């Protein structure tokens, strides 16, 4: 009897050990939802749909992009965090949603650190300081010289104090030693329109939002906020050429609700890396925004998130920004 019991237990354990592998082989068996916090037609939306289309081909299931904009990313992030962690919901998230909101808001309807697990990176999104082509400023140095000689007279458009562009405006002002008027806009497109029309002098925005206007000669970029000049914009200096060490870019990554089966995350990561590793796909993404180097590993993305939390916690303290 003992021998039979042992054999039955061993068989049960063997079957249980095979279950995760069997589950992984069967996943996905239905459409996968990709939530993002930006509206349809936005830069992140275009990226998500482009990537989702390629992922759906590799996974043999539709990738359904669900736009949940508003609340400074909180609406989309909350929806993703509260989704059933069954491997069929992922969050196409920005740096603001996963990191910066932690240091800008006293309370959030989601926990950026504990409600999600890392899946993979999509890429970095450079930001730029741009002016109307009729502006007298031909370089960042000229703009800074004017701002120092005329404190508080330079208007700078951005998406508001609790956004990446708004934080960059504060950070640049502090490190360049200038005082400007930060002018918040409800959307980056509205800020671009006013800068093109000459109603405002300067705009801090992500590169994808202004690339067409730059190509059309309706905006003049003075500097990019990455450590080095970026592909396709080689004539535009990096802020780091004026402020050594300055390196701030937005980024987009994919996370899943905490508790999502590891097998689903590993497969999604593997397929995402394959999609981003395609040269044609990387070029298409670069044309609308992010510079990608592949998805990386889950551990690498986790380390990036930890490092970003440390960096923004330090920066907000130094800038005297108090969560509200």
For the segment 205-223, what is each residue's pLDDT rounded down to a tens digit? Answer: 988 888 889 999 999 999 9
Q: Averaged over 193-204, what is the pLDDT?
A: 95
Displacement of CA 268 from its chain's centroid (Å): 18
Query: Alpha-carbon distance 268 to 32, whole Å?
Result: 10
3-state secondary structure of 286: helix
Q: How confident is the model at residue 37 (pLDDT cuts 50, 70, 90)?
A: very high
Tokens (6 digits) for 41: 């037609």
Other CB atoms within 10 Å distance of the CB of residue 252: 26
Greater pLDDT, 3 or 313: 313
Tokens (6 digits) for 64: 């359904």
Q: How confident is the model at residue 21 (pLDDT cuts 50, 70, 90)?
A: low
Greater pLDDT, 15 or 101: 101
Same fold, 30-124+250-318 and 127-241: yes
Task: Supply the pLDDT for residue 4.
Answer: 54
Q: Domain 127-241 belongs to what architecture?
A: 3-Layer(aba) Sandwich (3.40)
Express the helix, strand and coil content of the chain in percent, nearest 5 each: 45, 20, 35
Task: Supply the pLDDT for residue 198.
Answer: 93
pLDDT tens digits, one per residue of 107-130: 999 999 999 999 999 999 899 999
Mean pLDDT computed over every residue of the chain: 90
Q: How confident is the model at residue 1 (pLDDT cuts 50, 70, 90)?
A: very low
Q: Averaged over 252-278, what is the pLDDT?
A: 97
Q: How confident is the model at residue 24 (pLDDT cuts 50, 70, 90)?
A: low
As a whole-number percent, the residues of the chain with pLDDT over 90 amount to: 74
Task: Supply the pLDDT for residue 313.
Answer: 93
Question: Nearest-CA neighbor of 226 among 237, 235, 216, 238?
Answer: 238
Query: Alpha-carbon distance 263 to 305, whole Å?
Result: 21
Give the start-end residues of each E strand in 207-243: 220-224
Q: What are phi and psi of 130, to 5 degrees?
A: -130, 155
Task: Supply the pLDDT for residue 14.
Answer: 52
Q: Are strands 127-131 and 155-158 parallel, antiparallel or unpaired?
A: unpaired
Q: Domain 30-124+250-318 belongs to what architecture?
A: 3-Layer(aba) Sandwich (3.40)
Handedness of CA 152, 156, 159, 163 (dihedral sign): negative
3-state secondary structure of 203: strand
Question: Nearest-CA neighbor of 133 among 228, 184, 202?
Answer: 202
Tokens (6 digits) for 65: 């992009």
Query: Alpha-carbon distance 37 to 68, whole Å?
Result: 5
Task: Supply the pLDDT for residue 22.
Answer: 52
Where are the chain's structural domains? 30-124+250-318, 127-241
Greater pLDDT, 17 or 62: 62
Query: Alpha-carbon distance 147 to 155, whole Å?
Result: 10
Assess contact for 100 and 112: CB atoms under 8 A: no
Does the pLDDT of residue 186 top 70, yes or no?
A: yes
Assess contact for 207 and 41: CB atoms under 8 A: no
Assess contact for 213 and 109: CB atoms under 8 A: no
Question: Nearest-CA neighbor of 250 among 298, 289, 279, 278?
Answer: 289
Query: Alpha-carbon distance 123 to 206, whole Å?
Result: 13
């Amino acid at each position: 009897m003992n021998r039979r019991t042992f054999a039955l237990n061993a068989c049960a354990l063997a079957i249980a050990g095979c279950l995760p592998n069997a589950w992984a082989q069967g996943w996905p068996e239905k459409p996968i939802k990709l939530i993002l916090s930006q509206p349809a037609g936005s830069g992140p939306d275009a990226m998500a749909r482009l990537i989702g289309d390629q992922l759906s081909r590799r996974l043999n299931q539709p990738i359904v992009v669900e736009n949940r904009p508003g609340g400074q990313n909180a609406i989309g992030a909350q929806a993703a965090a509260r989704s059933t962690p069954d491997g069929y919901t992922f969050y196409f998230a920005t740096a603001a949603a996963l990191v910066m909101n932690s240091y800008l808001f006293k309370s959030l309807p989601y926990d950026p650190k504990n409600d999600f697990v890392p899946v993979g990176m999509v890429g970095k999104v450079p930001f730029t300081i741009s002016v109307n082509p009729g502006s007298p400023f031909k370089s960042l140095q000229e703009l800074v010289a004017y701002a120092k000689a005329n404190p508080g007279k330079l208007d700078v458009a951005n998406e508001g104090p609790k956004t990446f562009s708004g934080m960059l405006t504060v950070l640049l002002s502090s490190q360049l030693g200038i005082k400007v008027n930060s002018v918040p806009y409800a959307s980056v497109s509205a800020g671009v329109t006013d800068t093109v029309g000459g109603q405002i002098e300067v705009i801090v925005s992500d590169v994808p939002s202004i690339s067409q206007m730059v190509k059309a000669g309706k905006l003049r970029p003075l500097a990019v906020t990455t450590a080095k000049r970026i592909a396709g914009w080689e004539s535009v200096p990096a802020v780091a050429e004026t402020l050594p060490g300055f390196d701030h870019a937005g980024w987009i990554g994919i996370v899943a609700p905490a508790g999502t089966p590891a097998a689903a995350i590993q497969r999604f990561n593997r397929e995402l890396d394959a999609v981003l590793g395609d040269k044609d796909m990387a070029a298409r993404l670069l044309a609308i925004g992010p510079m990608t180097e592949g998805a990386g590993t889950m551990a690498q993305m986790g380390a990036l998130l930890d490092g970003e939390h440390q960096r923004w916690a330090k920066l907000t303290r130094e800038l005297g920004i108090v969560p509200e």
